[in-house]
Amino acid sequence: MSGRKIRNMEEFAAVSGISRPTVSKYFNDPESVRASTREKIERALKEHDYRPNIFAMNQNRKLTKNLGIVVPYLADPFFAEIARRIEDMVISAGFRPILLSSHGDAKLEVENLDSLLSIKPAGVLLAPLGRISDTAAIERFCREVPTVNFDANIDGAGEAFVGHNNTQATEMMLKYLTRTGEPPAFFEMKSPPNPNANKRRTAYLETMERMGHTPHVIQAAGEGWEIEEIGYREGTRVLSEGSLPSRTVFCSNDRLAIGFLAAAYEAGFKVGLGDDCTLRVAGHDNHPFSRYTCPTLTTVSHNYSAIATKSVETILAMIESGVRAPERKSTLFDGELIMRASA
Amino acid sequence: MSGRKIRNMEEFAAVSGISRPTVSKYFNDPESVRASTREKIERALKEHDYRPNIFAMNQNRKLTKNLGIVVPYLADPFFAEIARRIEDMVISAGFRPILLSSHGDAKLEVENLDSLLSIKPAGVLLAPLGRISDTAAIERFCREVPTVNFDANIDGAGEAFVGHNNTQATEMMLKYLTRTGEPPAFFEMKSPPNPNANKRRTAYLETMERMGHTPHVIQAAGEGWEIEEIGYREGTRVLSEGSLPSRTVFCSNDRLAIGFLAAAYEAGFKVGLGDDCTLRVAGHDNHPFSRYTCPTLTTVSHNYSAIATKSVETILAMIESGVRAPERKSTLFDGELIMRASA
DNA sequence: TCTTAAATTTTACGCGCGTAAATTTTATTG
DNA sequence: CAATAAAATTTACGCGCGTAAAATTTAAGA
């Protein structure tokens, strides 16, 4: 690096001996210029260290290289992990990820979308809050920007949905628990922040029915994203009341299960499969922390690696082709049984 | 909302009956225009739903309203939580948070800073990777952009540092453990990704010395951010070897402790304070999950709420005043003993 | 060497807004 | 009501780049 500071593309074009429009072309796609031209530019680039002004670029482009990622709650390790994978892929595809968290707040979710709208993203990957989302606002946004909806399905949101097969996953766990012990009770939040919960309850009820067992749903009071706390508090209550209809408990998600396990431990229950155990607990999601609970949590995996990959591929394909999907495709990934010590 | 679509500030100025430069002034600071003018604009705003183009705004402003936030690893709930708090405060201060994670990669950390540089942020809150960071590149960045360094201190990075008082916190826990039992061994990673670990080891060694006890440091092999896994694996090894120099283990951080607790549970140890317990385990950070371990983890809190607040206040003050601090100030927040069941 | 198509350059304009300077309007005071 | 300061407006220009159209150069083949 040497020479005086380059202030804009004009000056950079001068020192590289190329016209400004050609330089502009190079930055939009290096392959689009002749090899000899490319060399000249790249030689100058090494000497002078210039970067085009992002704002000026994006102001004039019809399509930016921005790709929005909106998740409902980033402080949830599940979304943090999925966001991390998506960011990686987006970057290596040459896009600029803009990661926004709605922090569990529907108003902020809409503000995030508004904020994205103003930076003209090429596309958006949206994991909506779900039940409490302002669906009208979301649908309005999706008409403006190519969007792939993931994790939580909102009909009409985006050109495609990529998510978890809650039905299959729930059924699989139910069969496993029943086969190796007794039919479980279902432990969930009364007003879950995530719509997957509803699908899971429905799947539980239907499968139990089909298997000829009486379903038992235990609903935990409490709202918001302090899910472990709710699982712990309500778990403690249920265990102390002795109102558990079954010695096997299938939690709607792992965070709830983590709280429930803490409650069971404190209440002196021995959780697990062994003959000396008085309780079996299973979860759902294969949460990053589920393998460090005591005992380790038997759960059914939420294939967020596949969901992240498919979501990114879908939005990139849509951006590249420039066409919106004629019909809304839905892709569900099956869960896998993660057998550990708790059930 | 009605009327035709507003394409730019020119058109919006027309429908609101105000000149464009005055409208521009309004958007930069609503208080800077006469009340009657403000009313007119806001009435038009309700009718026509117009928002200034972010790119055009930022292109011409010397100072944007962008505020960068860079954390080393967003999938760590600790950073996710601190980022959430910071974002909230930044938004309510009227700025636009740009959250970037370095994913534990020093190259990506530099790329993140480069990326920030090109969007002319008013300021940046930087929690660096630490040991592996490209300190030269970071210092170069800090000369260009007002930066507050938080969590992990890198001398010369930023105008101020806001962090955790590792020395005080370590000392406090050591005294507690010794007073209520025996002097602990110190369990840490051999090559910790976070520089706080070094401060904690030093504090452990010095305090033990001062108290007249022989220090025992157990170093876990393994690199990266899969900290629970390392704690679990190495914990299992240490416990099975029976090489533990003390029945009390002070883990360098909670994630390590979570892994260690899982190992202890599996190895059949009863962890806690009671007479029937064979092991005491303490952590450091008051990690969001530390209260759901079995048994619940005794730890010393990392006051990230205060750290987040102070960091934001510092950078905002710097932005507002427009002056870089004459000298680098360092603020450390004390930890608090969180007595739970594990020690 | 001539032909031809592809790549490049030149020219010219526009994007949407910030901002400075000069001018006009409005509010305040005596 | 006149004088004066404060606020608003008009005018004018610039920011750094995208991009279209026309003119020119380059490379490849006969």
**Residues in a beta bridge with B186:** B217, B250
* Helices B77-92, A77-92: inter-axial angle, 10-degree rounding: 80
Q: Which of residues 10-39 of A touch strand C (CB under 7 A)?
A: 18-22, 25, 32-34, 36-38
Taking CB atoms and an 8 Å cut-off, how many pairs form between chains A and B?
114
Say whether A166-300 and A66-163+305-333 share the same fold. Answer: yes
**Which residues, listed in sequence order, are joined to residue A188 by a DSSP beta bridge?**
A219
Report the DSSP beta bridge partners of residue B164: B333
Q: Which of A55, A288, A296 sits opposite B59 (nearest CB)?
A: A55
- B22 CB closer than 7 A to any strand D atom: yes
Give B36→chain A minimum CA distance, Å. 28
For residue A162, the cross-strand partners are A150, A331
Mean of the per-residue pLDDT values of chain B: 91
The arithmetic mean of pLDDT across residues A217-242, rounded, is: 94
Phi, psi torsion values for B54, nearest 5 degrees: -60, -40
Q: Where are the domains of chain A?
A: 9-52, 66-163+305-333, 166-300
Q: Which architecture characterizes domain A66-163+305-333 according to CATH?
A: 3-Layer(aba) Sandwich (3.40)
Averaged pLDDT score across all residues of chain A: 91
* B183 DSSP assignment: P
Q: How would you write the pLDDT of chain B (343 residues) with one tens digit per residue?
A: 445 578 888 888 988 888 888 899 888 888 888 888 888 888 888 888 888 888 898 888 877 888 999 999 998 888 999 999 999 999 888 888 999 999 999 999 999 998 888 888 999 999 999 889 999 999 999 988 999 999 999 988 899 999 999 999 999 999 999 999 999 999 999 999 888 999 999 999 999 999 999 999 999 999 888 999 999 999 999 999 988 999 999 999 999 999 999 999 999 999 998 889 999 999 999 998 999 998 999 999 999 899 999 999 999 998 887 777 778 999 999 999 999 999 9
C-alpha–C-alpha distance, residues B14 and B12, integer Å: 5
CB atoms within 10 A of CB B225: 16
State the CATH architecture for B66-164+305-332.
3-Layer(aba) Sandwich (3.40)
Region B166-300: CATH code: 3.40.50.2300
Q: Helix, strand, or coil here: A287?
A: coil
Which pair of tokens denotes residue B145? 């952009």
The two structure tokens encoding residue B300:
């010393």
Would the Cβ of B62 be found within 7 angstroms of any atom in strand C?
A: yes
DSSP string, A61-100: -SS-SEEEEEES-TTSHHHHHHHHHHHHHHHHTT-EEEEE
Stronger pLDDT, A62 or A237, i.e. the higher one: A237
pLDDT in tens, A23-44: 998 888 888 888 888 888 888 8
